[in-house]
């Protein structure tokens, strides 16, 4: 029953993500995080999504599966870009990885996003969002960033459940769990590892894109008219880490770490609260 | 003069009488098959087109919940056309369209879940259709109808027994009713949510009750 969702929808995909991402923790190399973290997170989402739906007529009958497919392709593309461009300047590498968000958004062929122009605008918006997020992510190597992202992704997950789209909620929940576990691993390994950037370029881009495209998918299929404000807040919830970047806070490491987490929690909780207030409760059939 | 015209006039009169008699003996072919004025034993092949009455037609479905009780839901938006011919009915064709957004379980929150991609994915697949390919009269008012059922983007051939429940003509026009019950395996239509965890059954019993009117 519910145990099967926990095993195949959450636990096994999280292990897949951990195996990829933990490589960076135990075998740090200058560009490792730019490969393994993004790959790990996208693999978690993809594996979990595959456990949720019939693979017959993959992405034609179940078009929401374009979302996990676009994310795994983005994870691979960003990793390949980081490897191929590791000798180039960071600016070129960043631009190439950010630009790869646009084709990921163009792959979404779901209700409300049928028009190319809409998907292109979504892709450009997601790329800018990913760029903003990555500026901070690449500066911070502590456990607080993945922990903050873990809480931020609770918002799109909760909105998906409240809109009645449980199949979308499970993969996002799996990513959230994976990020949570990785932050704990990072916390435990803090003294032994001096990783320059933990989540890294590909990790930051993949998390930002999961939030943006995940919310776009949920919004596209929403028949319960969840307020647009709630969807937007859920999409930008990872930007809550900006709270820690204010001058009085960033000089104090403990406060900085907590501010990253609290900023994301506040945005995520607000999105959920707006939805819950909009309609009192939600029931699911099974 | 008069006498010379007599044979011609007699021939003309007799010709008219014969033609009149022949005309009266000819069968009427323009009377509709379902007309109340048609003699009971008279077989007619004229086709009648019927438009499904959305208000008085519905589709019910029943599925097992957590291996225990039966959960019922319905679709109110049923449209389409039916074509019959003959009296008694000799042929039957059906083209039924169901608005998936009209799904109702008498609980608004559950309806939202039923409309989501977990089940009917109404934004992606706004309609379900049944188009009959053949119909064979079994006995009386029972018909064996075979056709394409398209649901959730998948088309499968199904065969079901359809009963013509009644036919009437009143001041509100001519009406005809049909009812059928059949069971589908929803996983064959790519609707798999809840099957693995056994929260929602795989078999769904569907009851279709149609009322149609002829313009």
Given CA atoms A253, A254, A259, A260 in this order, what sign does their dihedral have?
positive
Is residue B29 one of the residues assigned to a domain? Answer: no
Confidence of residue A202 (pLDDT cuts 50, 70, 90): confident
Amino acid A194: pLDDT: 53
Is residue B13 one of the residues assigned to a domain? Answer: no
Which position has the higher pLDDT, A88 or A231?
A231
Our count of domains for chain B comes to 1
Chain A residues with a Cβ under 8 Å from any Cβ in chain B: 1-2, 4-5, 53-54, 56-57, 60-64, 110-112, 163-168, 220-221, 223-224, 279, 281-286
Rounded to two decimals, the ipTM of the complex is: 0.75
Confidence of residue A208 (pLDDT cuts 50, 70, 90): very high
- Asked if A138 contacts A204 with a C-beta cutoff of 8 angstroms, the reply is yes
Is residue B14 one of the residues assigned to a domain? Answer: no
Q: What are phi and psi of A156, to 5 degrees?
A: -60, -35
β-partners of residue B144 are: B136, B161
Residue by residue, DSSP assigns A11-73 as IHHHHHHHHHHHHHHHS--TTTHHHHHHHHHHHHHHHHHHTTS--TTBTTTBGGGHHHHHHHH
- Which residue range forms the structural domain that includes residue B58? 45-213
Percent of all residues in chain A with a pLDDT value above 90, rounded to a whole number: 51
Chain B residues near residue A276 by CB distance under 8 angstroms:
none
Amino acid B138: pLDDT: 94
Amino acid B204: pLDDT: 97
Is residue B34 one of the residues assigned to a domain? Answer: no
- Rounded to the nearest angstrom, the minimum Cα separation between A282 and chain B is 5
Around Cβ B99, how many Cβ atoms within 10 Å?
A: 17
Is residue B80 one of the residues assigned to a domain? Answer: yes
Which position has the higher pLDDT, A274 or A139?
A274
Amino acid B41: pLDDT: 45
Where residue B103 sits, what CATH number does that domain have?
2.40.128.110
Mean pLDDT of A256-284: 87
- Rounded to the nearest angstrom, the minimum Cα separation between A71 and chain B is 19
d(CA A283, CA A14): 27
What chain A residue is nearest to B71 in terms of C-alpha separation? A285
pLDDT digits (tens, 9 = 90+) for A7-48: 888 899 999 888 877 776 666 665 555 678 888 899 999 999
Chain B residues near residue A164 by CB distance under 8 angstroms:
109, 112-116, 118
B36 pLDDT higher than 50: no
Is residue B33 one of the residues assigned to a domain? Answer: no
Amino acid A197: pLDDT: 59
Q: Does the model's pTM come out above 0.90?
A: no
DSSP class of B37: T
Is residue B131 one of the residues assigned to a domain? Answer: yes
pLDDT digits (tens, 9 = 90+) for A89-138: 778 888 988 999 999 999 998 888 989 999 999 999 999 999 999 988 88
Of the candidates A60, A164, A279, the beta carbon closest to that of B113 is on A164
pLDDT digits (tens, 9 = 90+) for A131-189: 999 988 888 878 899 999 999 999 999 999 999 899 999 999 999 999 999 888 888 87
Is residue B40 one of the residues assigned to a domain? Answer: no
């Amino acid at each position: 029953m519910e145990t099967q969702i926990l095993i195949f929808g959450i636990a096994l995909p999280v292990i897949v993500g951990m195996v990829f991402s933990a490589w960076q923790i135990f075998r740090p190399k200058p560009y490792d995080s730019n490969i393994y973290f993004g790959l790990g997170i996208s693999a978690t989402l993809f594996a979990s999504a595959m456990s949720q739906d019939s693979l017959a007529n993959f992405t034609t009958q179940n078009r929401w599966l374009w979302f996990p497919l676009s994310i795994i392709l983005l994870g691979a593309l960003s990793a390949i870009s980081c490897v191929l461009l590791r000798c180039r300047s960071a600016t070129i590498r960043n631009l190439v990885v950010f630009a790869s968000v646009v084709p990921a958004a163009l792959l979404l062929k779901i209700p409300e996003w049928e028009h190319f122009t809409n998907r292109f605008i979504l892709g450009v918006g997601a790329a800018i969002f990913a760029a903003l997020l990555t500026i901070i992510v690449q500066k911070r190597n502590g456990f607080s960033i993945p922990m903050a992202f873990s809480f931020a992704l609770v918002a799109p997950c909760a909105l998906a459940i409240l809109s009645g789209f449980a199949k979308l909620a499970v993969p996002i929940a799996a990513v959230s769990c994976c990020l949570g576990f990785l932050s704990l691993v990072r916390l435990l390994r803090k003294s032994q590892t001096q990783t320059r950037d933990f989540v890294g370029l590909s990790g930051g881009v993949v998390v930002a894109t999961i939030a943006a495209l995940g919310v776009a998918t949920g919004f596209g299929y929403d028949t319960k008219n969840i307020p647009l404000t709630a969807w937007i807040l859920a999409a930008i919830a990872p930007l809550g880490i900006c709270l820690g970047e204010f001058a009085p806070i960033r000089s104090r490491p403990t406060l900085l770490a907590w501010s990253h987490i609290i900023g994301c929690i506040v945005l995520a909780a607000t999105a959920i609260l707006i939805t819950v207030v909009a309609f009192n409760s939600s029931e699911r059939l099974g | 003069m008069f006498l010379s015209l007599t044979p011609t006039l007699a021939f003309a009169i007799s010709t008219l009488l014969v033609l009149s008699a022949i005309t009266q003996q000819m069968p009427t072919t323009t009377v509709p098959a379902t007309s109340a004025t048609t003699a009971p034993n008279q077989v007619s092949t004229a086709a009648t087109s019927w438009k499904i009455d959305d208000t008085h037609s519905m589709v019910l479905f029943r599925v097992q919940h957590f291996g225990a009780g039966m959960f019922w839901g319905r679709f109110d938006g049923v449209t389409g056309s039916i074509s019959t011919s003959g009296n008694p009915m000799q042929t039957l064709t059906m083209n039924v369209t169901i608005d998936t957004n009209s799904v109702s379980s008498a609980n608004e929150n559950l309806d939202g879940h039923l409309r989501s991609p977990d089940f009917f994915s109404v934004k992606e697949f706004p309609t379900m259709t049944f188009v009959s390919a053949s119909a064979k009269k079994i006995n009386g008012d029972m018909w064996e109808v075979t056709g394409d059922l398209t649901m959730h983007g998948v088309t499968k051939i199904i065969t079901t027994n359809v009963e013509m429940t009644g036919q009437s003509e009143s001041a509100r026009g001519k009406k005809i009713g049909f009812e059928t019950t059949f069971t589908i395996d929803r996983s064959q239509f790519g609707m798999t949510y809840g099957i693995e965890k056994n929260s929602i059954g795989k078999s769904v019993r569907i009851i279709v009750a149609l009322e149609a009117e002829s313009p």
